[in-house]
Each structure stands twice: as structure tokens, then as C-alpha cells.
A = this chain, B = another copy of it.
Amino acid sequence: MENSIPYKIYLEESEMPKAWYNVRSDMKIKPAPLINPGTLQPMTAEELAGVFCDELIAQELDDTTQYIPIPEEILGFYKMYRPSPLVRAYCLEEKLKTPAKIYYKFEGNNTSGSHKLNSAIAQAYYAKKQGLKGVTTETGAGQWGTALSMACAYLGLDCRVYMVKVSYEQKPFRREVMRTYGATVTPSPSETTEIGRKILAEHPGTTGSLGCAISEAVEAEMKLDGYKYVLGSVLNQVLLHQTVIGLETKAALDKYNIKPDMIIGCAGGGSNLGGLVSPFIGEMLRGENNYQIIAVEPASCPSFTRGKFAYDFCDTGKVCPLAKMYTLGSNFIPSANHAGGLRYHGMSPILSQLYHDGYMEARSVEQTAVFEAATQFARVEGILPAPESSHAIRVAIDEAIKCRETGEEKTIVFGLTGTGYFDMVAYEKFNNGEMSDYIPTDEELQKSFDTLPKVDL
């Protein structure tokens, strides 16, 4: 073990980022704007105001300001659980007998158990500042709902969560954490919204999807006085807030003069990946530096590696604007045996543009290989990783093994987005040898692509 670099690099409070980094400011080709599906024109701030808070809309639309100051109140909240540690995976390196140097930025050391809290507190703060009573949202596996419940409890805002029904039933503990933080949790689709009733009528017995829960949360917000809708991923504003991850990572690396060769993150809607890699891609965009950036996604939900770069609906009910992104089609649902999270059909427009322009590559991995990596990691590094995060672990291990074979001493950084405490049903399946893989066929994907909006943009 090198004595100069500690196991965990913690920044001092004074070294923590005071502003979020807006990667769009450095992009020559900006991400395409959200489109109003009715007018086929870019969504205006006025149109978005029906759904989002004013300051968040400003952030959503701002593609020129390079740094956006983090309000004092949010900095104060960040201090409760940030800085998160950048950990040198000495034990994993030793186990793999690799000359590679592996670091991971661990975002799971807060009760919500993931990085989602970074944006939850920001969105709740702006809602509070606008004098709102509460917010509505959706949650799939529950990480985002938990984070938002925590943030709302802290600020005294009401929080209404539409939770994908299959998770609501299979993850009662996640639900109870949200209730402990005072949130109202409704299984989706529900009888409480028009779109919910419509979906239930068309698909009786459906266990729901994220796209459907989004539609319900947006409808609920529009009918409630003093409420706005908030979203945990995909949006530009979310990636902006999550850059606190990448900025801390960069500050910690710089503190010890470490230059990473490779940065790896899992990608569902892109919130963690975007937050982690933005400051590094910023250097690439400005021509200051070069890194290998790798997005990792499930083979069963391969938006980057097999999706189309096109305008698509963000939700099943088609109440949201169109976004240009890598997408599998808004009615795509991963196969029933998929347990590893990252199941959204689309991808952040920012990351989609960067990927399209060659600033990052993408890999898809199968879930049994992901849980193998998760278990190996847990046993040597002592952290039980979320299935989502374990996609990044898988590729980090693969790359470290390549280094063993070539003898290269590459420096690998990956994002460990959260913990797997509420994913033990999936771990149990894996422990019992009952987990299987599924890769959608080209025909299945084509069927889903056929539902892309037929608009000429």
C-alpha cells in the first residue's frame, strides 16, 4: 500500500465545491431543446412553468453560464453528508492482482443510500423558495423517492410519491423509509389520476412502469394547488446538481496529483454518470485534457448501445415534452427477470449529445455478471453495492483485469452510486443461483422503435 494516498480521500469543508458546473456552456453542439409535442416548437419557460419551479426552469434552459453558485442553504445541507469519500480500492486491486490503480467515489453514505439526494435537496429548496406547499414525483426502485422524502422532511415540504407498483409491493421497506420521512406513497398506476385509471382499464393487473408513474405525478401536480413536479434524472437541471460528485472527485484527485486514465459510471437516466463525468468532459471540450469515459448500461435496457438518437416521449402517458435522446421507445419495458435497476427507456439529452459526438463510449453488461462483480466487490471492499452501481464495478474490474494482462498501470475511477440494502430480493435470487440474463431481440427493439413519435425535427 502506498502510504502517500489514504484509503479514503475526504475534502475539507473549505475545499468543497461552491458552484455547480454547467457542461453545456462548453459544448459546441448544444443538447437539443425539449419540444412541445403540440406545437413542435422548443418549450418556453412559460410553458414549463406549469410543471416545474421557476429557478429550476432557468437552470434547465441555461446552456451558457459555466458555473452556477450553490445556494448557502443547499451547501449547508450538503455538509450533512458531503463530501463523500473518494476511496482507493486497495483491497480490490490486491484481490485482482492488477497493476491498475482503482478509485471509487462513494455516494451511498446517506440514508437515502444514493447520489439522488444531491439533486433532491436542490429541487426541494427551489420549491420551498418559491413558496410552494409541496412536490410530486415518481420513483422506481425507490432511491429517488427516498432522497426526495428526506429533503422535503428537512425543509417542511409535503412530498407525494408515485411508486411503480411492482416496487411498491416488492420493496415495502423502501416505502416505509419514505413514510418515516413523512411522504405519501401511492402505488402506480393508481385510481387517483385520469391517466392511471386509463392505464388500469387498458392493462388490468399491470405492475406499472416508470414512464407511467411520471405521467401520474405530472397530472397530480397540475391538479394540486401550490405543488410542482420534480424529476430525479434525465433533465439538464438534475445533471447540473449532480456535478457536485464530479467536482469533488476532481478536487480530491488534484489534491494528490492523480490523473485518471478512465472514468466509468453506470447509466440509467444519466444523473450519476453525467454528474461524475461533466467536469472531466469539460476539460476535453476545452481541449485541456483527455480521458476515456465509459457509460455502462444493462444489456436488457441498452439505450446507448442499441437505442436510436431521436426525439421521443419522456413518459408513457405522453403528457411530458419530447426530448432528443438515445431511446428504446417510450413503451419499452425491460424483461421481467431484470433486477438490476437502470430501466428507463431514454437517456439524458446532454449525455446523448456527448455520446453522439464521441466524447464517451458505452458498454452493456448482463446482470449475472453484474451481481458477480457486486459480490466480489462487497467481500473485499466491505460495501454492499446497489445493483445499479455494480454495472460500473463490473467494467472497472474487467478493465483492471486487462491491465493485469498488459501490465499497464492505468488509473481507473468509477462512480459507486449507492448501497444495495433494499435490493436483497435480487441478491437472494443471485445467491440461490436463480438469476438469469435476457437480451432483447432486434425484433423486440424494432417493435418499440415503431412507437417513436413520427415528427420531423
Contact = CB atoms under 8 A, between A and B. Distances in A.
B6 A384 contact: no
A80 B91 contact: yes
B7 A79 contact: yes
A309 to B, nearest CB: 38
A422 B421 CA distance: 8
Interface residues of A, number: 42
A1 B76 contact: yes
Mostly helix, strand, loop or mixed at chain A's interface?
helix
Contact of A431 (B176, B379, B425): B176
Contacts of A182: 379
Interface in A153-190: 153-154, 172-173, 176-177, 179-182
A47 interface: no
Copies of this chain present in the complex amount to 2
Those 7 A-B pairs whose CB atoms lie nearest each other, nearest first? A173-B424, A153-B379, A421-B421, A176-B424, A111-B384, A7-B79, A176-B428
A382 B154 contact: yes
A411 interface: no
A113 B113 CA distance: 12
A167 B76 CA distance: 39
Contacts of A80: 7, 91, 381-382
A421 B91 contact: no
A427 B381 contact: no
Contacts of A113: 421
5 contacts: A91-B154, A111-B378, A172-B428, A179-B428, A181-B378
Interface in A103-117: 109-111, 113
Given A80-B381, A176-B428, A177-B421, 4 more contacts: A80-B382, A150-B379, A153-B378, A173-B421
